[in-house]
């Protein structure tokens, strides 16, 4: 996909939720890494990685969903539920299955907002999510 060419709405809403989650995982992780680096620019990479895991594991992402679900639009809720309910051929290694499914839905939503190029909404959800996670730490 060339930069600057938006996907049309039909492509976005019919895209596999697991493909959206695949992209959303990377997008979310990038936001988390940048957030941590801005606060801890002199930290060792291994320490940054360990901290990033606290923000990006399934339990943390599930807590974002539980803390924000009422703020989602109908469209966002639909995308989240498609991702959450999608049959995955992998099983979580270090997560409860329910948290894992919620995290997949969250990542699908992040991927969707990214491809939709709704940066304002994406950043609102990511940074509100960070505050939810930090309030639970």
> Active-site residue numbers?
25
How far, in Å, CA of 108 to CA of 76, rounded?
10
C-beta separation of 36 from 48 below 8 A = yes
Give the relative orientation of helices 17-39 and 45-56 as an angle to the nearest 10 degrees.
130
* DSSP-derived secondary structure letter, 7: P
Number of neighbouring beta carbons within 10 Å of residue 128: 14
C-beta separation of 55 from 133 below 8 A = yes
């Amino acid at each position: 996909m060339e930069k600057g060419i938006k996907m049309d709405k039909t492509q976005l809403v019919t895209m596999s939720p697991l493909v959206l989650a695949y992209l959303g995982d990377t997008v979310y992780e990038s936001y988390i890494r940048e957030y941590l680096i801005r606060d801890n620019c002199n930290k060792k990479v291994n320490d940054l990685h360990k901290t990033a895991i606290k923000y990006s594991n399934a339990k943390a992402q599930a807590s974002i969903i539980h803390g924000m679900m009422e703020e989602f639009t109908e469209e966002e809720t639909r995308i989240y539920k498609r991702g959450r309910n999608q049959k995955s051929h992998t099983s979580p290694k270090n997560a409860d299955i329910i948290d894992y499914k919620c995290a997949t839905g969250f990542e699908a939503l992040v991927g969707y907002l990214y491809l939709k190029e709704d940066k304002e909404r994406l950043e609102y959800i990511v940074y509100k999510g960070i505050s939810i996670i930090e309030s639970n730490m």
